[in-house]
Structure 1
Amino acid sequence: MKRFLYIITVLLSLSTLAQNEQLFEEGNTFYNEGQYAEAIDIYKRILDTGKHSAELYFNLANAHYKLNNIAPSIYYYEKALQLSPNDEDIKNNLDFAKNMTIDDIDVIPETGLTKLLNTFTHYLSFDNWAKLAILFVFCSVILFLIYYFAYSSFKKRLAFISSISSLMLFCISLALAFHKYNLEQKDRPAIIFASECKVKTEPNSRSEELFRLHEGTKVQLLDTINEWKKIKLSDGKTGWVANNDIKAL
């Protein structure tokens, strides 16, 4: 019975995959013909099936960009970049889309050791740092065994030094893995979708207005209270906006 259910599940997955491929080609056809709204509808039908890919988000963003839909185009370019962070086409198109935004917000640059540490940490993902840590601890154990059973004093010395070095690299890799994890946990980006968004001092409509943001601006989410979200800008400013004005990435 379990095998039968497994076969049915596989067949349904293959059927959905084939259908999504057909829809993707259909959406591309609409896009190439300049029917961008129709292409968007088709791409969203694929998303509704749970299918996510950098190519799908990229094409969806391109269609929105052609219709001058600032916030959705930036949102989907950012989604594509999350799945394919080194894709130059996505980065270039995202820059073009950002040129349509109104808000010009300064970025507080990282400096000194913080910049160096974060840059180095971002070279690998959390999973890869963790795998590297496991590799180093495995090497350390093997080298220690070589040290223990070796007869030559030179081999013992070399194996011992290599084992200690591997253990130190294990500790560094593990620390970088946790640092990467913490950076990812703190990174909660969102895009302003309202054409004009009032940023308040407190999470209620009666509080004082600090400033206004416009569609397409990228912010960081800090907290949520009822129907309000606390945000932080790249220049360090914070405030509260209504849930309906923002969409988390």
Structure 2
Amino acid sequence: MKRYLNIVVVLIGLYAFAQNESLFEEANALYNEGQYAEAIDIYNEILNSGKHSTELYFNLGNAHYKLNNIAPSIYFYEKALQLSPNDEDVKNNLAFAQNMTIDDIDIIPETGLARFLNALTHYLSFDNWARMAVAFAGCFVLLFLIYYFAYSSFKKRLAFISSMGSLMLCCITLALAFHKYNLEEMDRPAIIFATESKVKSEPNSRSEELFRLHEGTKVQLLDTINNWKKIKLSDGKTGWVVNNDVKALK
């Protein structure tokens, strides 16, 4: 009975995949005909079915860009980049969409050491750094056993130095793995979707207005209280906006 259920599940999955592929081709045809709003409806239908891909987000971004929907186009390009960080087409189109935004926000430059550490940390994913740490730990154990059982003083010395080097590399890669994890946990990007959003000093409508942001601006989410979200800009400014004005990317 269980075997038949597994077959049914596989068949349902194949049917859903084929249906999504058909819808994707239909949406692409509408896009090529200039019917961008209709294409967006079908792309969203695919998204609602649980299908996510770089191509889907990229095409959604393109369709919204054609309709001058600044915030949605940037949002979907950013979603595509999360899946394919090195995709040049997505990066280029995102840059075009960002040129339509109103807000010009400076970026606080990183110091030399922080820039180097973050660049090194982002070179690999958390999983890959963790795998490297495990591999170096295994090398350390193996080399230490060779050192312990070796009779030759030269082999002992070589195995000991190599084992200590492996242990050091294990500690470094493990630290980089945890640093990568912490950076990803703290990274909570979002896009302003309101045409104009009033940023308040406190999470209530009676508090002082600090400044205003416009659609398409990228922010970081820091906190949530009731119907308000605390945001941070790339220049270090912080404030509170209502939930409906901002949409999280994660």
TM-score, with normalisation over the residues of structure 2?
0.98
Does 1:153 find its partner at 2:153? yes
Aligned to 1:115: 115
| Cα offsets for 1:64-116 (capped at 9, x unmatched) | 00110000000000000000001111111000000000000000011121111
SS of the aligned residue for 1:207 comes to coil
For 2:176 and 2:87, the matched residues in 1 are separated by 24
Aligned to 1:223: 223
For 2:91 and 2:247, the matched residues in 1 are separated by 20
SS of the aligned residue for 1:86 comes to coil
Aligned to 1:64: 64
For 1:25 and 1:153, the matched residues in 2 are separated by 69
Counting aligned pairs with the same residue, the percent is 80
Aligned to 2:190: 190
**Per-residue deviation, 1:172:** 0.5
CA root-mean-square deviation = 0.8
Where does the alignment leave 5 or more consecutive residues of structure 1 unmatched? none
Aligned to 2:248: 248
For 2:11 and 2:151, the matched residues in 1 are separated by 60
**Per-residue deviation, 1:4:** 2.0
For 1:68 and 1:121, the matched residues in 2 are separated by 36
Amino acid in structure 1 at the alignment position of 2:204:
N
For 1:142 and 1:11, the matched residues in 2 are separated by 47
**Per-residue deviation, 1:206:** 1.1
For 1:2 and 1:157, the matched residues in 2 are separated by 58
For 2:163 and 2:187, the matched residues in 1 are separated by 36
For 1:39 and 1:152, the matched residues in 2 are separated by 73
**Per-residue deviation, 1:131:** 0.6
Aligned to 1:75: 75
Where does the alignment leave 5 or more consecutive residues of structure 2 unmatched? none
For 1:158 and 1:89, the matched residues in 2 are separated by 50
**Per-residue deviation, 1:2:** 2.2
- Alignment of structure 1 residues 178-217 onto 2, 5 Å: 178-217=178-217
SS of the aligned residue for 1:191 comes to strand
Select between 106-115 and 221-230 the one with higher mean Cα deviation. Answer: 106-115
Amino acid in structure 2 at the alignment position of 1:107:
I
For 2:134 and 2:4, the matched residues in 1 are separated by 38
Aligned to 1:132: 132
For 1:236 and 1:73, the matched residues in 2 are separated by 25
